[in-house]
Amino acid sequence: MRILIYGMGGMGGIFHRFFENRGYFVKGYDLNPDRSEVSYGEIDGFDVIFLCVPMDEIENALEDIARKNRSALIVDISTLKNLAIPHLERLGFDYLSIHPMFGPDSEIGLSNIIVVHESGREEERVILEEFRRAGAIISHISVEEHDRKMAEIQGTAHFLLFLFALTLRGRFGKAYHYGSPIFLVMHKLASRIINQDWRLYYHIQKNAEELRKEILENARVLDEIMKDERSFKGLVDELREEFDDYRDSTIVLDAYKTTVNAEGIDMLRGYIRAIDSLVLRLIEKRVEAGRKVAMEKLKLNEPVEISHVEDVKLRELVTKTELNPVMVSEIFERLMKLTKEEEYRILGVRKKVAVLGPPGSFSEETALKLVGSRLPLIYQSKVEDIFLAVESGKADYGIVPIENSLQGTVLQTLDALLRHDVEVFAEYESEIRHNLVAKKRLPLRDIEVVYSHPQAIAQCSEFINNYLPHAEIRYTRTTSEAIEMLDDRSAAIASELAAKLYRLQVIKRDIQSLTSNRTRFYIIRRSGGSVNGDESLTCLFFGVDDRPGALYRVLEVFYKNGINLRKLESRPAGTRLGDYIFFAEAEEKLGENIVEEIKKRTTFCKVAGFFRKVDRLDVFTG
């Protein structure tokens, strides 16, 4: 979906950043060439055009667009629907008409977006879904109802603020020194609308003429009621039943202090103190929201940590400020860490588990069998990153593939195990079933591209050679990443879990070359964990001198002690060509004396873990 923002003022800027941060192709067009990223001639290359021009320019802008691109979906964001809709209809556009109830300086999250017209196009669904996912509150009403509501909502608020300004005109040169918080907030709001485009307020009031009569009548009634104590009390009691959302009104009023013009060191320090206490209260609010999100994740079986949500958030935040982006990111990363810790705490998650992601990978499938819940899972895109997450303490455990019955050893795991300060404490064996999946049912002959992880492709090579010889193979970093690449002519090799998660069609089940395709996973933790006593296996690395019999002398230790080796691999040491490091798995927990004996016969020896087979990993207790 290619999006054009027509009009790069405040609102245009908001939508531009919003969609760009979410990975869409977005360009801005403006009559002012300095703000334009494309020329007028190029506006026919877009599927969606957000119309973000001032009211008076709507008609001309639509005429301009109609000359170049009549098939695009127009997104009308105007406050007053009678200014855009008649022209959209006349020119025969498909259009989505919304009223975003926020200004250029606001945040889309928690803002109200009113939808008054849809054409039924797929792009509309995508746009509204993005708004919804960003936390906007979306409601649908008719154009007539919209206009009525806007008279009540904007018409009343603006009229009363103008009235406030009119009444106090000339009286409050020093408003800031005498004002109460409520007064100052109203003063500020009146100033805000008075200093914006008067035409907008004129049009809104034009739509609210009837309502203004009611306001004036009510003012007269209220004046009478206020003359009598009992009548006034009665009115307040009645109003209280409806107007009861005063919770947190103090935060609203305190936030006002941050807009004060402070001068002099004492006042400035007071200003910073006021900001700090507000920031603290807002952090508490943030964490409180996190606790609620955690309960939702429990219901939906979603992980606590969702890195793409965090990435979009950080990207958006740094584009909104001139402050040092690295530091701003750090601050918000810390805030998210605080929130996540609280989410883990409230859900009773004691240990976090790093797995290969994104969701839907075979590693996740294994993790779900072991842990039984997505909550503690932290998704990493590479095996190396799982090791880093465990080493740095971000995750308590990591689940990494070590060996597959068809492909043999997973070398990235072996190499990372040697380099990082982690240890293996358990292993788990899992049956891997590969499936050919696609966005919709497709005959095999129509599949032009197959995406998957190289291991998965290799494990299904027989099937691919026999049934998909014409298809192009494209490797991805994970099987679930393959799913993200799918279009209508391609397929991916993925787990059944992924097919369910991403609502895909399973074209062929169990396409792996052997009927039994098993992968063994290591479960790792930071080095120095407590030994359980029931470990029955050891894995270790060692190096030997480059001379005849050196390896034999090491193997002799195992032989003499009657210990079976179930695995022996050599890896380049990374020093000179021909220098090797050996990796072995012994079917016993090696005692100290045996390790000592091996050390004597090797140039280097690292025990990478004493471990046992498990079928559950408890992360909720202990």
Rounded to a whole number of angstroms, the minimum distance from the CB of residue 115 to ligand PRE is 24
Stretch that binds ligand PRE, among 270-278, 334-342, 561-569, 582-590 (CB under 6 A): 334-342
Contact (CB, 8 A) for 201 and 154: no
Stretch that binds ligand PRE, among 36-44, 96-104, 147-155, 336-344 (CB under 6 A): 336-344
Q: Binding to ligand PRE by residue 336, rule CB under 6 A?
A: yes
The DSSP string of 487-502 is -TTEEEEE-HHHHHHT
Residues contacting residue 152 through CB under 8 Å, at least 6 positions apart = 208, 211
The burial class, CB within 10 Å (0-12 / 13-18 / 19+), for 521 is buried
By C-beta, is 125 or 308 nearer to ligand PRE? 308
In this chain, which of 310, 342, 384, 510 binds ligand PRE, going by CB under 6 A?
A: 310
Residue in 348, 251, 316 with CA at minimum distance from that of residue 621: 348
The DSSP string of 550-589 is HHHHHHHHHHHTTPPEEEEEEEE-SSSTT-EEEEEEESS-
Each residue 4-43 as x (binds ligand PRE by CB under 6 A) or -, in order, gives: ----------------------------------------
By C-beta, is 343 or 403 nearer to ligand PRE? 343
By C-beta, is 157 or 283 nearer to ligand PRE? 283
Contact (CB, 8 A) for 146 and 172: no
By C-beta, is 305 or 364 nearer to ligand PRE? 305
Q: Binding to ligand PRE by residue 115, rule CB under 6 A?
A: no
By C-beta, is 158 or 297 nearer to ligand PRE? 297
Locus of tokens 């990975």: 23
- Whether the bond between 181 and the residue before it is cis, its omega within 30 degrees of 0, is no
Stretch that binds ligand PRE, among 211-219, 223-231, 338-346, 484-492 (CB under 6 A): 338-346
CA distances from 614 to 124, 357, 405, 522, 535 (A): 49, 22, 19, 10, 10
Q: Binding to ligand PRE by residue 328, rule CB under 6 A?
A: no
CA distance 203 to 143: 16
Rounded to a whole number of angstroms, the minimum distance from the CB of residue 307 to ligand PRE is 6
Per the structure block, which two tokens stand in for 535? 């470990």
Rounded to a whole number of angstroms, the minimum distance from the CB of residue 319 to ligand PRE is 17
Q: Binding to ligand PRE by residue 339, rule CB under 6 A?
A: yes
Q: Binding to ligand PRE by residue 100, rule CB under 6 A?
A: no
Label each residue of 585-605 as H, E or C.
EECCCCCHHHHHHHHHHCCEE
Strand partners, 490: 449
CB atoms within 10 A of CB 192: 12
Handedness of CA 406, 363, 484, 481 (dihedral sign): negative
Q: Binding to ligand PRE by residue 431, rule CB under 6 A?
A: no
Stretch that binds ligand PRE, among 242-250, 302-310, 489-497, 526-534 (CB under 6 A): 302-310
Handedness of CA 142, 144, 150, 152 (dihedral sign): negative
Stretch that binds ligand PRE, among 10-18, 31-39, 309-317, 484-492 (CB under 6 A): 309-317
Count of residues that bind ligand PRE according to CB under 6 A? 11
Each residue 277-296 as x (binds ligand PRE by CB under 6 A) or -, in order, gives: -------------x--x---
Locus of tokens 């070359």: 513
Handedness of CA 102, 105, 108, 110 (dihedral sign): negative
Rounded to a whole number of angstroms, the minimum distance from the CB of residue 276 to ligand PRE is 20
Residue in 352, 613, 536, 320 with CA at minimum distance from that of residue 328: 320
Rounded to a whole number of angstroms, the minimum distance from the CB of residue 379 to ligand PRE is 10
Q: Binding to ligand PRE by residue 255, rule CB under 6 A?
A: no
Rounded to a whole number of angstroms, the minimum distance from the CB of residue 23 to ligand PRE is 17
Count of all residues that appear for the chain in the document: 622
Stretch that binds ligand PRE, among 9-17, 250-258, 301-309, 392-400 (CB under 6 A): 301-309
The burial class, CB within 10 Å (0-12 / 13-18 / 19+), for 223 is exposed
CA distance 418 to 583: 9
Q: Binding to ligand PRE by residue 525, rule CB under 6 A?
A: no
- What residues numbered 191-250 form the site for ligand PRE, per CB under 6 A? none
Q: Binding to ligand PRE by residue 316, rule CB under 6 A?
A: no
Q: Binding to ligand PRE by residue 130, rule CB under 6 A?
A: no
Residue in 22, 11, 123, 12 with CA at minimum distance from that of residue 73: 123
Contact (CB, 8 A) for 487 and 439: yes
By C-beta, is 298 or 336 nearer to ligand PRE? 336
By C-beta, is 168 or 306 nearer to ligand PRE? 306
Query: Of all helices (H) and strands (E), which one includes residue 257?
Result: none
Q: Binding to ligand PRE by residue 501, rule CB under 6 A?
A: no
Stretch that binds ligand PRE, among 174-182, 306-314, 442-450, 595-603 (CB under 6 A): 306-314
Locus of tokens 């029931």: 534
In this chain, which of 340, 352, 374, 520 binds ligand PRE, going by CB under 6 A?
A: 340
Rounded to a whole number of angstroms, the minimum distance from the CB of residue 313 to ligand PRE is 6
Measured CA angle at 235 (ends 230, 237), to 5 deg: 95
Stretch that binds ligand PRE, among 82-90, 117-125, 308-316, 527-535 (CB under 6 A): 308-316
In this chain, which of 91, 189, 211, 306 binds ligand PRE, going by CB under 6 A?
A: 306
Stretch that binds ligand PRE, among 254-262, 304-312, 403-411, 604-612 (CB under 6 A): 304-312
Q: Binding to ligand PRE by residue 309, rule CB under 6 A?
A: yes
DSSP structure class, residue 154: I
Each residue 341-370 as x (binds ligand PRE by CB under 6 A) or -, in order, gives: --x---------------------------
Binding interface with ligand PRE (CB under 6 A): 290, 293, 305-306, 309-310, 313, 336, 339-340, 343
